[in-house]
Amino acid sequence: MEEEDGDHDFLFSAAAQSTDRHERVIVHIDIDCYYAQVEMILNPSLRGKPLGIKQKNLVVTCNYEARALGVEKLMTIKSALEKCPSLILANGEDLKNYREMSEKIYKVLQSYSPFVEKLGLDENFVDVTHKIVKSPEVQHVISGHTFHDSEDICTCGCTERLAQGSLIAQKMRDHLRDELGITSCGGIAFNKLLAKLVGTTHKPNQQTTLLSTSSLSLIKSLKHLRNIPGIGSAINRKLEVLGINTIEKLQSAEMCKLTEALGGKTANQIQQLSFGIDNSHVKITDRPKSIGAEDGFIPIRSEGEVRKKLSCLLNRVLELVEKDGRKPCQLKLTVRKLHPSSHSVRESRQTTIEYGTGTGSSTQQGPGDEKQKMKLMTTLMNLFERIIDCDVSWQVTLLGISFSGFSSGNSESPAKNSINKYFPVKKSPLRSEEPLPPSKRCRFDESVLQELPPDIRQEVLEDMQNQLPSPDPQKPTDSDCPKGVDPLVFCELPVEIREELLAEERTKKQTTIKKSNNLLQYFRKAS
C-alpha cells in the first residue's frame, strides 16, 4: 500500500535534510546540441539551418532549429528526413574536433575551480563551494531561473550560497561563449545529481538554480526511473522485474528486496538517488591513462591490408598523443579475429617502446617523425604476428592501437642525442625540491586546498587518493629512485627498465663507468 503524497514529502524531506546537507555548491554545465555546435563553429554557413549529426544510420544530435522542426536526438536518418526534408546532415563519426573542444571547455572551467569533473565530452561538474563568501554584506540575487515550488525556505544559508553559485555559473557560461563561441546550460544545486537534473529544466542556453526545499519535487517531476543519472538499462530491467517502475515505488521499496536484486551498495545508492540524495564528490578528472583508437571493418585477410589500416590508425593516435604532451612507454595492439564458426575473439598484445619525436608534432612531415612512425609500424606488425599466425588463413574485423605508461613530460629543449628527450622532466610549479610521494601529489594549486574547511579538505584529499591507482607493491617509492633521475618518470617505467637502472646505479657505486651510453645517464635530469 502506498503512503499518501503529503506524508511522503514530510518523511523524505526530513531524510534529505538529515543525510544530505546543503553545504556544497555544485555547478553542472552541459553544452547545447554539442556535436552540432562544434560543426557550426567550424562551418558558420550551417548556422540558422536545421542540422543533424549522423553516425551510421542515426542522427546522434541536431541543432535547435532541427528540433523545432520535429527532429529528435537518436532518430534514424530516415525518420529525421521524413520529419524535416531540409535537414542538412554532417558526418560525426570522427570525434577529433569534439574531443578538442571538450578539452578547451575543461580548461576554461578549471580557471574557476580546481574541482572539475568531466562527464562525457560535453558535461562537467564544478564544485565552487570554496568560492562562496561567508556572511556577505549584501544578499545576492539568483542569476537565471529558480526551481522552487515550495513555500518553505531552508534556513541553513544554502539559498544565499546557491545564489552566489548561480553568479559564478553565469560567468563560466559567458566565458565559454566569449572565448569558444559555444553556448551551454547550467544547473546549480547542493549536490551533483540535483545540479545535473535541474540544468535540463530550461534549455538551450539558460541556467537554473534549485532551492534545497524543492529537491523532492524536482525528482518527482522525472517521468521515468531511467531519467535518474545512475539508473542505467541493466538496473532498470532488474527493478522492473521487482515491479518498481516509478520514482515513488523506488522510494518506498523494501531494502532487503532491492539488495537481493542489486547488491547492498547499489540498492542503497539508487534508493538515495530517488530521494535526491547524492553525497558523491566532484572527482577531479585526471588525464587519461591510455590514448588510443579502434577501427572496425568488414573482414580483411592480408598483411598488406592490415598494414594500411594500422598506418591510418597510428596517424590518428599519434596526433592525440602529441596533443596530450606526455610520452608513452607502452604500445598495445588489439585485434578482433573472426573464427570459422563466425564468432569473434578480441586479443591484445603490448610491448615497451621508446617514444619521442624530438621535432615536435607528428603531423609535421619531419624525417624524425617518419622514422619514428616506421619504427612503431614495425613494432605493431610484430605484435600482430604474435596474435595471428599468418601461415594459416585468418580474418580480422577490428584493429586497435593504444599508448599508455605515460611519463609526465614535455618536449622542452631536450639535450641532443639524449634519451632524456624521450622522457623529459616537466618543471611543474608544484614540485618542490624534495618530491612528494606519489600518493600526496596534488594536480592543482595547494593554496586552494588550504582555504577549505578542515573536514572538507580531508575528504577531498581522501577522494584524490582514491582516484590514484592503489599502491602497487612492485612500484618503487621515491626513495628507491636512482640519484638524479626524475622520480615521476622512474615510477612509471616498466619493472625491467627500473631494475636495469637500479643495477647500473649499484655498479656505478662500485666502479666508475666510462661508457658514455649507459642506460642510467639517459634518465638523469638535465642539469
Chain residues that interact with ligand DCP, rule: CB under 6 A: 30-35, 60-61, 73-74, 122, 203-204
475 binds, among ligand DCP, Mg ion, none (CB under 5 to 8 A by kind): none
* DSSP 8-state assignment for residue 99: H
486 binds, among ligand DCP, Mg ion, none (CB under 5 to 8 A by kind): none
Grid coordinates of 487 = 622520480
* DSSP 8-state assignment for residue 123: E
Nearest-angstrom CA–CA distance, 296 and 378: 21
Q: Which residue is nearest to ligand DCP (CB)?
A: 61
Nearest-angstrom CA–CA distance, 381 and 313: 13
Q: Is 117 in the site for Mg ion (CB under 5 A)?
A: no
- Beta-strand ranges (E) seen in 42-148 are 51-55, 58-62, 75-76, 88-91, 116-119, 123-127, 145-147
- CB of residue 74 to ligand DCP, shortest distance in Å: 6
Nearest-angstrom CA–CA distance, 208 and 191: 14
212 binds, among Mg ion, ligand DCP, none (CB under 5 to 8 A by kind): none
Count of C-beta atoms within a 10 Å radius of residue 70: 14
Q: Which residue, 35 or 490, is less far from ligand DCP as judged by CB?
A: 35
Cell 544510420: give the residue: 57
Count of C-beta atoms within a 10 Å radius of residue 299: 13
Q: Which residue, 20 or 32, is less far from Mg ion as judged by CB?
A: 32
Q: Is 30 in the site for Mg ion (CB under 5 A)?
A: yes
Q: Which residue, 55 or 252, is less far from ligand DCP as judged by CB?
A: 55
Please check whether residue 303 is in contact with residue 381, taking contact to mean a CB–CB distance below 8 angstroms.
yes
Beta bridge partner(s), residue 402: 292, 332
61 binds, among ligand DCP, Mg ion, none (CB under 5 to 8 A by kind): ligand DCP
Q: Which residue, 40 or 317, is less far from ligand DCP as judged by CB?
A: 40
Our answer to whether residue 65 is catalytic in this structure is: no
Which residues in 118-157 contact Mg ion (CB under 5 A)?
A: 122-123
- CB of residue 118 to ligand DCP, shortest distance in Å: 12
Angle formed at CA 366 by CA 365 and CA 367, multiple of 5 degrees: 115
Cell 607502452: give the residue: 330
Q: Which residue in the list 123, 294, 319, 385 is annotated as catalytic?
A: 123
204 binds, among ligand DCP, Mg ion, none (CB under 5 to 8 A by kind): ligand DCP
Q: Print the binding letters for residues 76-115 with Mg ion: x by CB under 5 A, - otherwise.
A: ----------------------------------------
Can you give the length of the chain in residues? 527
127 binds, among ligand DCP, Mg ion, none (CB under 5 to 8 A by kind): none
Which residues in 31-60 contact Mg ion (CB under 5 A)?
A: 31, 34
Nearest-angstrom CA–CA distance, 213 and 151: 8
Residues with catalytic annotation?
123
Binding site for Mg ion (CB under 5 A): 30-31, 34, 122-123
